[in-house]
């Protein structure tokens, strides 16, 4: 196709670079050296996503108040508590031999774009003009100092569990989260269960929430259901299981939906380097994609990577805490937080030997600090993917994973020789004398005994079943010694994986097209299980509507709308209220849906003297309430009902909250009807208040491994973060219809689809 060419001169390049932008907005970068390829990646990230990556840096480093004013000082202080402050040589070494050089080149490219903006101010993105702000220059360490852009776990669960135990006793926690493998929680010796002050989680969430923009005061912590919808699917099929005679790999990570998209697709080509895929635009390289020999993908493996410590304070000096037989002084760091149109605000950050102090409760003489792998070298989110960009085979790849720290992940790979593999990778604390499920005293009785690395975690290579995969489910193998090597006990609902497993085990051979259909599948295993419980019950018109349903959450489905109203707004909270003490349901911000379905199927004594009758009465009572709500929302004519009328995809720009609706509409993308939920392979998690899709899949990839130009991707709502770009929202209609675009790899294929060419010259 015809294309336009622009030539730009940039200081810092060693040679010329071509950036070929295809018709879907994917940049293909061709350089004569690796350094120039990463320089151009940084330049291009700033060209297409500058306001997004500038806010990424400012949020991570605690610099938002400098742009947005004094309401953001508290948020900036929280962010600074979680910055990496350790050894730099050890830090860079975790990410592979090229990481420091590549990252240095990457940020030099970002800064070269800022130099260009100084010369040509008309290029400044609209967000800076709206706010009257300017982007700031980077150093390489900025990329890795920021830790909190990808969550680790399980601080929020520790807090919830302790609050439940303090109020209702240990037995009530059985309704909070089902533990896998089976495990009995116990209160750690020396811990007095007590309500954890809300300031503890407020500070933590202010530091970690993805969107730092709000009207006036900082936003409340993110919707818990949206956070819980984080996840991902990936799987790889061996050649014996495909129609192509080659391996097929599928990957779709799930995160909060916002505009611009979290992911950015890019292709880097230089002598010795040829890799394409998706990553976060502020991080060099890609974390999901392929090189010329190896395809790679990841999902979250929900390891427990942090602990809350509770300290007794010295009544005479609240910056001393009990440790061993005496008192130990907190380390204080004095910093100043810049504030727009005002004086910098001095702040005092406190740290114990375990980590940053989230809250000091002077009234009760306690302090709370988090110990997290973020403070260890090698835990900047996704940076360790740099170590496997050149991997040629499984052995190279798993060797690179030894430096992988965070987030904790399942890696699935496939290569051109037909090999497939799965490996968990993370830095997981070794807890010699506790399980990590509740806070512990910080007096020295509970210390980490080092960190497990990827080589200590489970993996599988070329299994006999002919496929590997993950969907955040409990996947510790039966022979894994979880008592000696505990990774955690709290996993995501296994419904998505159950659907993947029944499909892959049920069909012997898979094509690329069939793989795409499975990746966009709306089949809901929990719906099938719950609706089976209605058989034989006098469920009336609602029961008749669900009885003829295929349990697929299609956007056009009326039964899907009824089921989701029932399940999320009536049945799940109804089970917690029926089985738990009064007040428990309100303490469980994110109910364990897998546990709820299990409880319904078991119908144990918690449902009353006649458990099955009690269970059935609850089913009918909540279904009737859901039917009334469905009629109120969708009208009396059930033939006109559809799930997509309620459940709509929408990508909101962070600044739109601050703008008049007409202006915000130019930045926001959507809405469009969407099927699915957070329990379907096609993950579209929603707010229970209004059913708006707020998280789930926004980027997908299906690879015909070795036949690279026959591979597919989608990145909603578009590749660009510039509202004036044709690629700002062009992929949203395709994403809404579960469609894909080619992810081209060969130079000939790229040239044929190129619509714009940037030539960068020294």
Place 612 in a pLDDT band, splitting at 50, 70 and 90: very high
Domain closes at, from 619, 646, 673: 646
Number of domains forming the structure of the chain:
2
Is 582 within the bounds of a domain? yes
592 in Cβ contact with 579 (< 8 Å): no
Question: What distance lies between CA 489 and its chain's CA centroid?
Answer: 19
Distances (CA, A) of 196 to 125, 192, 315, 428: 43, 11, 20, 24
The residues pairing with 373 across neighbouring beta strands, listed in sequence order, are none
pLDDT at 217 over 80: no
Domain closes at, from 344, 375, 406: 375
β-pair type (754-761, 4-9): parallel
308 in Cβ contact with 368 (< 8 Å): yes
For 442-456, the pLDDT digits (tens) are 999 999 999 999 999
**At 531, which helix (H) or strand (E)?**
helix 525-532
Question: CATH no. for residue 530?
Answer: 1.10.1400.10
Residues in the chain: 762
pLDDT at 255 over 60: yes
**At 564, which helix (H) or strand (E)?**
helix 558-566
Terminal-to-terminal C-alpha distance of the chain: 28
- Region 345-359: what's the mean pLDDT? 98
Distances (CA, A) of 298 to 316, 372, 470: 50, 21, 9
| Close Cβ partners of 131 (under 8 Å, ≥ 6 residues apart) | 67, 68, 655
What is the model's pLDDT at position 334?
Answer: 98
564 in Cβ contact with 693 (< 8 Å): no
Residue 627's nearest CA partner among 721, 541, 544 is 541
For residues 190 and 211, the model is more confident at 190
Residue 693's nearest CA partner among 705, 710, 676 is 676
Is 207 within the bounds of a domain? yes
What is the model's pLDDT at position 222?
Answer: 46
* Structural domain containing residue 195: 155-170+189-219+305-375
At residue 381, what are phi and psi to the nearest 5 degrees? -55, 125
Place 657 in a pLDDT band, splitting at 50, 70 and 90: confident
Largest CA distance in the chain: 80
β-pair type (27-30, 231-237): unpaired
Residue given tokens 């079943």 in the structure block: 465
Residue given tokens 């009353």 in the structure block: 608
Tokens of 223: 């919707």
Distances (CA, A) of 627 to 556, 568, 586, 631: 18, 13, 23, 6
What is the model's pLDDT at position 589?
Answer: 87
Is 320 within the bounds of a domain? yes
Place 212 in a pLDDT band, splitting at 50, 70 and 90: low
pTM for the model: 0.96
Place 230 in a pLDDT band, splitting at 50, 70 and 90: low
| Close Cβ partners of 55 (under 8 Å, ≥ 6 residues apart) | 64, 212, 213, 654
648 in Cβ contact with 670 (< 8 Å): yes
Question: What distance lies between CA 248 and its chain's CA centroid?
Answer: 24
Residue given tokens 């489970």 in the structure block: 458
Tokens of 520: 């966009």
At residue 498, what are phi and psi to the nearest 5 degrees? -60, -40
**3-state class of 297 per DSSP?**
strand
pLDDT at 407 over 60: yes
Is 488 within the bounds of a domain? no
Residue given tokens 């660009």 in the structure block: 720
Place 103 in a pLDDT band, splitting at 50, 70 and 90: very high
β-pair type (420-425, 357-361): unpaired
Distances (CA, A) of 36 to 278, 348, 638: 19, 41, 60
For 550-597, the pLDDT digits (tens) are 999 999 999 999 999 999 999 999 999 999 999 999 999 889 999 999
What is the model's pLDDT at position 1?
Answer: 55
What is the model's pLDDT at position 219?
Answer: 45
230 in Cβ contact with 625 (< 8 Å): no
β-pair type (264-270, 27-30): parallel
pLDDT at 228 over 80: no
Going by the DSSP 8-state scheme, the letter that residue 122 receives in this structure is G
Place 480 in a pLDDT band, splitting at 50, 70 and 90: very high
Residue 429's nearest CA partner among 446, 443, 417, 409 is 446
What is the model's pLDDT at position 2?
Answer: 60
For 671-684, the pLDDT digits (tens) are 999 999 999 999 99
Residue given tokens 């730009």 in the structure block: 8
CA–CA gap between residue 332 and residue 320 (Å, rounded): 11
**3-state class of 20 per DSSP?**
strand
pLDDT at 383 over 70: yes
Domain closes at, from 318, 352, 375: 375
Is 277 within the bounds of a domain? no
Is 692 within the bounds of a domain? no
Residue 702's nearest CA partner among 509, 558, 517, 466 is 517
Give the mean pLDDT of the chain: 95
**3-state class of 339 per DSSP?**
coil
What is the model's pLDDT at position 433?
Answer: 96
pLDDT at 353 over 50: yes
CB count in 10 Å sphere of residue 449: 10
CA–CA gap between residue 562 and residue 642 (Å, rounded): 9
What is the model's pLDDT at position 582?
Answer: 95
pLDDT at 229 over 70: no
Question: CATH no. for residue 318?
Answer: 2.30.120.10
pLDDT at 397 over 80: yes
Is 728 within the bounds of a domain? no
Is 432 within the bounds of a domain? no
Looking at 62-197, list the stretches that DSSP marks H as alpha helix, in order from N- to C-terminal side. Answer: 65-68, 73-81, 88-93, 99-119, 126-131, 140-145, 155-168
**3-state class of 648 per DSSP?**
strand
477 in Cβ contact with 485 (< 8 Å): no
What is the model's pLDDT at position 213?
Answer: 73
- Region 45-70: what's the mean pLDDT? 97
CA–CA gap between residue 390 and residue 638 (Å, rounded): 55
């Amino acid at each position: 196709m015809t294309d336009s060419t622009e030539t730009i001169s940039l200081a810092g390049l060693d040679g010329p670079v071509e950036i070929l932008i295809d018709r879907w907005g994917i940049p293909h970068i061709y350089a004569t050296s690796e350094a120039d390829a990463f320089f151009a990646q940084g330049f291009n990230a700033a060209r297409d996503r500058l306001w997004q990556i500038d806010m990424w840096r400012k949020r991570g480093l605690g610099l938002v108040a400098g742009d947005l004013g004094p309401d953001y000082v508290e948020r900036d202080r929280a962010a600074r508590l979680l910055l990496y402050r350790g050894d730099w040589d050890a830090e860079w070494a975790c990410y592979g031999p090229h990481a420091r050089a590549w990252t240095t080149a990457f940020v030099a490219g970002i800064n070269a774009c800022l130099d260009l903006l100084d010369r040509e101010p008309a290029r400044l993105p609209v967000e800076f003009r709206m706010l009257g702000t300017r982007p700031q220059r980077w150093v390489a360490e900025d990329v890795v100092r920021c830790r909190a852009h990808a969550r680790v776990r399980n601080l929020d669960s520790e807090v919830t569990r302790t609050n439940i135990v303090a109020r209702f006793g240990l037995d009530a926690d059985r309704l909070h989260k089902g533990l896998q493998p089976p495990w009995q929680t116990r209160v750690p010796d020396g811990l007095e269960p007590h309500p954890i002050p809300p300031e503890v989680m407020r500070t933590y969430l202010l530091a970690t929430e993805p969107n730092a923009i709000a009207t006036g005061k900082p936003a409340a912590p993110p919707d818990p259901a949206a956070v819980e919808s984080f996840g991902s699917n990936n799987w790889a099929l061996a050649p014996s299981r495909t129609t192509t005679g080659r391996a097929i790999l599928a990957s779709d990570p799930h995160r909060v939906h916002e505009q611009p998209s979290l992911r950015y697709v890019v292709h880097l080509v230089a002598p010795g380097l040829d890799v394409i895929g998706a990553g976060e635009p502020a991080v060099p390289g890609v974390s999901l994609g392929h090189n010329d020999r190896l395809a790679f993908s990841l999902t979250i493996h929900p390891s427990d990577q942090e602990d809350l410590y509770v300290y007794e304070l010295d009544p005479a000096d609240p910056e001393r805490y009990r440790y061993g037989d005496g008192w130990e002084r907190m380390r204080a760091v004095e910093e100043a937080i810049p504030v727009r149109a005002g004086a910098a605000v001095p702040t005092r950050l406190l740290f114990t030997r375990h980590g940053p102090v989230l809250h000091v409760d002077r009234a009760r003489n306690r302090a709370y600090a988090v110990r997290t792998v973020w403070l260890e070298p090698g835990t900047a989110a996704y940076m360790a993917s740099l170590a496997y960009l050149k991997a040629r085979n499984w052995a190279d790849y798993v060797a690179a994973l030894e430096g992988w720290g965070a987030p904790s992940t399942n890696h699935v790979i496939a290569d051109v020789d037909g090999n497939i593999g799965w490996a968990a990778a993370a830095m997981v604390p070794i807890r010699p004398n506790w399980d990590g499920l509740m806070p512990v005293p910080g007096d020295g009785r509970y210390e980490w005994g080092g960190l497990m690395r990827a080589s200590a975690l489970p993996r599988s290579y070329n299994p006999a079943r002919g496929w590997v995969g993950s969907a955040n489910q409990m996947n510790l193998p039966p022979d894994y010694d979880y008592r000696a090597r505990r990774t955690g006990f709290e996993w995501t609902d296994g419904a998505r994986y159950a659907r993947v497993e029944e499909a892959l085990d049920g069909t012997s051979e898979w094509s690329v097209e069939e793989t795409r259909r499975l990746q966009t599948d709306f089949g809901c295993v929990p719906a099938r299980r719950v609706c089976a419980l209605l058989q034989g019950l006098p469920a009336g018109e609602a029961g008749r509507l669900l009885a003829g349903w295929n349990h697929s959450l299609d956007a056009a489905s009326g039964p899907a709308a009824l089921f989701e109203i029932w399940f999320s707004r009536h049945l799940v909270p109804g089970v917690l209220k029926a089985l738990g003490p009064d007040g428990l349901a309100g303490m469980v911000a994110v109910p364990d849906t897998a546990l709820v379905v299990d409880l319904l199927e078991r119908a144990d004594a918690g449902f009353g003297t006649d458990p099955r009758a009690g269970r059935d009465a609850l089913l009918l009572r909540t279904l009737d309430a859901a039917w009334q709500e469905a009629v109120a929302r969708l009208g009396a004519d059930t033939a006109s009902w559809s799930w997509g009328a309620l459940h709509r995809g929408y990508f909101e720009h962070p600044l739109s909250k601050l703008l008049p609706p007409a202006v915000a509409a130019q930045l926001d993308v959507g809405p469009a009807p969407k099927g699915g939920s957070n329990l379907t392979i096609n993950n579209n998690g929603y707010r229970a208040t209004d059913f708006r899709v707020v998280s789930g899949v926004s980027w997908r990839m299906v690879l015909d491994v070795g036949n690279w130009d026959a591979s597919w991707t989608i990145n909603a709502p578009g590749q660009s973060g510039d509202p004036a770009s044709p690629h700002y929202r062009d992929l949203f209609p395709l994403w809404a219809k579960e469609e894909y675009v080619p992810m081209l790899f060969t130079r000939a294929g790229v040239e044929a689809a190129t619509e714009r060419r940037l030539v960068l010259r020294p």
